[in-house]
């Protein structure tokens, strides 16, 4: 679980940071930067523009959503993807979609919390694979999704 939380926190923090990389983000285009996060680990953050998303374990981008940012973390122990998305659908509909995807991927949900328009789901397989999802409705009526999916070792690619 610690690795999934690490990826989610890192995604949020890095998305707000500046770095060398494509500089198109400042003009509303696509921005991509790679970070060395220590111990041979890298994180690649992409924001804006048309972002391709390659999620492991059969997970998909939420249908009809807009991808805001992605982050890929690669190291010897875990390969992870975090995607921030936005949709007009309600929180429960999004959570139900990802609950079904987790089940289809062999992930057992071991944490579910709902409070004040926000829902959290997290789970894992018997190995090191797992996911976490946070979905929340903003005051503006948009639903924001943060999804992290991770696999053990070098199985997810780069």
Judge whether residue 104 has pLDDT over 90: yes
Q: Could you tell me which residue, 31 or 102, shows the higher pLDDT? A: 102
Mean of pLDDT values over 97-104: 95
The β-bridge relationship of strands 130-137 and 108-115 is unpaired
For the chain, what is the total number of helices (H) and then of strands (E)?
A: 2, 8
Under 8 Å between Cβ of 153 and 41:
no
Q: Tokens 């523009």 correspond to what residue? A: 49
Answer whether residue 6 shows pLDDT above 50: no
Confidence of residue 28 (pLDDT cuts 50, 70, 90): low
* 155-56-83 Cα angle (round to 5): 130
- Distance CA(146)–CA(120), nearest Å, equals 10
**Mean per-residue pLDDT for 124-144?**
89
> Which pTM value belongs to this model?
0.75
Average pLDDT over residues 81-86: 94
Residue, of 29 and 56, whose pLDDT is higher: 56
Range scoring the smallest mean pLDDT among 35-39, 61-65, 101-105, 136-140: 35-39
| Mean pLDDT score, 99-103 | 95
**Integer Cα distance of 20 and 9 in angstroms:** 21
pLDDT at 11 over 50: no
What is the arithmetic mean of pLDDT over 125-144?
89
CB contact set of 5 (below 8 Å; sequence gap of 6+): 132
78 or 52: which leads in pLDDT: 52
Averaged pLDDT, 61-68? 94
> What is the Cα–Cα distance from 157 to 80, expressed in whole angstroms?
9
């Amino acid at each position: 679980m610690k690795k999934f939380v690490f990826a989610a926190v890192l995604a949020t923090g890095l998305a707000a940071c500046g770095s060398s990389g494509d500089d198109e983000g400042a003009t509303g285009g696509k921005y991509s930067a790679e970070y060395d996060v220590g111990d041979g680990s890298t994180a690649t953050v992409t924001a804006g523009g048309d972002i391709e998303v390659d999620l492991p374990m059969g997970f998909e981008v939420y249908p009809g959503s807009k991808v805001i940012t992605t982050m890929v973390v690669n190291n010897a122990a875990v390969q992870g993807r975090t995607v921030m998305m936005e949709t007009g659908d309600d929180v429960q509909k999004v959570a139900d979609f990802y609950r079904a995807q987790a089940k289809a991927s062999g992930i057992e949900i071991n944490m579910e919390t709902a409070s004040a328009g926000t829902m959290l789901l997290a789970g894992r397989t018997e190995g090191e694979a797992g996911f976490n999802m946070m979905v929340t409705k903003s005051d503006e009526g948009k639903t924001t999704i943060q999804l992290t999916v991770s696999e053990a070792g070098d199985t997810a690619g780069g």
